[in-house]
């Protein structure tokens, strides 16, 4: 049985994504498809992802390129 990463339920994605920092999440998954974009945007709103370890320059880039 083949399973694509994109077909995993959101709950499982959230569990996996807990191991990555916000910068790597956005860099690796934002823009893949509408579902991932919505999931990441919702995650930032609901789960208050931690940006404390991100440099100011990278934080600015994230805000300009990835956040609505």
Range of the domain at 49: 9-65
Chain position carrying tokens 């300009």? 64
Q: Is residue 1 situated within a structural domain?
A: no
Q: Which residue has the higher pLDDT, 2 or 31?
A: 31
Rounded to the nearest 10 degrees, what angle do helices 34-47 and 22-29 cross at? Answer: 160
CB 13 within 8 A of CB 39: yes
Number of domains in the chain: 1
pLDDT in tens, 39-61: 888 877 665 666 777 788 888 88
Q: Is 5 helix (H, G, I), strand (E, B) or coil?
A: helix
pTM of the model: 0.66
pLDDT in tens, 11-30: 998 888 888 877 788 888 88
Q: Is residue 3 situated within a structural domain?
A: no
pLDDT at 2 over 70: no
Task: Please name the residue ranges forming H helices in 1-68.
Answer: 10-17, 22-29, 34-47, 56-65
């Amino acid at each position: 049985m083949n399973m694509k990463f994109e077909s995993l339920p959101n709950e499982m994605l959230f569990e996996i994504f807990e191991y990555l920092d916000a910068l790597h999440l956005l860099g690796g998954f934002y823009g893949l498809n509408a579902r991932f974009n919505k999931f990441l945007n919702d995650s930032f709103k609901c789960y208050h992802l931690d940006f404390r370890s991100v440099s100011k320059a990278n934080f600015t880039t994230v805000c300009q390129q990835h956040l609505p």
